[in-house]
A = this chain, B = another copy of it.
């Protein structure tokens, strides 16, 4: 595979920094530029060897062959807008946002005739850690990366992005942006939502502290995702509101069925519900272990 002569990573935290490290590990990196709002973060990323130099968005656009936006989804349009007038014709731009339909809409609006140069992506990899110190060359090993091409993309560009992510250790799937958002609403955004509601439910009681004091390992795992960045999850919720509202409606139906079984002390119905869930979760666990 051809080297990337100049790679720019906008946002050199866990996601962007790990991409830089993984590209370097794959031997694909020429020069790697870091872009970001916080000078201190960029300095630390350079000290850690994640990036070779620092650039503005405009400079990065003028010099880079591949640009990864690893910024909160709400900032995508502003970043693309500043880069648009300077982008090289051969440059490929991608992102790492958790929602895709909104990102595509924003890209169309600000890139206009050049939107074909933007191939949207979403690496499904995270950690409770953040910042350049959390970046690891092996973060994407065995992880799934979703690419949601748009009709304007050149097939060669999509294939090249896929090959780069695979060289970083990831398993890549291509799918439609709307479908991506619906699937992620179900298995990522909605669990965050449920965990957030659950903690708020406890906080709304007059003995919240006594409850927290009794919580054990089940509670710990179930609520871990509720500690995530509030700003990020507000943005994801707003960006993906239609799909999330669909989940809320379908949740309510499933919840009411279970609640009714309990109200009626229907042991058989309860057993069937717990059995279905337990079996499906165990099978999922086995599948995931097999893949990794």
Interface set of A (CB-CB < 8 Å, partner B): 124-126, 143-144, 146, 183-184, 186-188, 190-205, 207-208, 210-212, 214-231, 233-234, 237-238, 241, 244-245, 247-248, 250-251, 253-255, 257-259, 262-263, 265, 267, 270-271, 273-278, 280-282, 284-285, 287-288
Contacts and interface: CB of A to CB of B under 8 A. Distances in A.
A194 B194 contact: yes
Contacts of A227: 278, 281-282, 285
B230 A274 contact: yes
Given A222-B222, A234-B270, A244-B262, A187 B215 contact: yes
A277 B217 contact: no
Given A259-B248, A281-B226, A276 B234 contact: no
A245 B256 CA distance: 12
> Secondary structure of the A side of the interface?
helix
Contacts of A255: 197, 201
B197 A228 contact: no
Nearest to A217: B126
A222 B225 contact: yes
Nearest to A184: B214
Given A196-B278, A234-B270, 18 more contacts: A183-B207, A184-B214, A186-B205, A188-B216, A191-B219, A191-B222, A191-B223, A193-B258, A195-B277, A200-B273, A201-B250, A201-B255, A203-B276, A212-B284, A221-B222, A226-B277, A234-B267, A237-B274
Q: Which of A257, A276, A287 has most chain B Cβ within 10 Å? A: A276
B270 A200 contact: no
B188 A277 contact: no
A197 B194 CA distance: 11
A197 B234 contact: no
B124 A214 contact: yes
A183 B214 contact: yes
Nearest to A195: B222
Closest 6 CB pairs of A and B: A230-B274, A201-B254, A199-B277, A187-B215, A227-B281, A230-B275
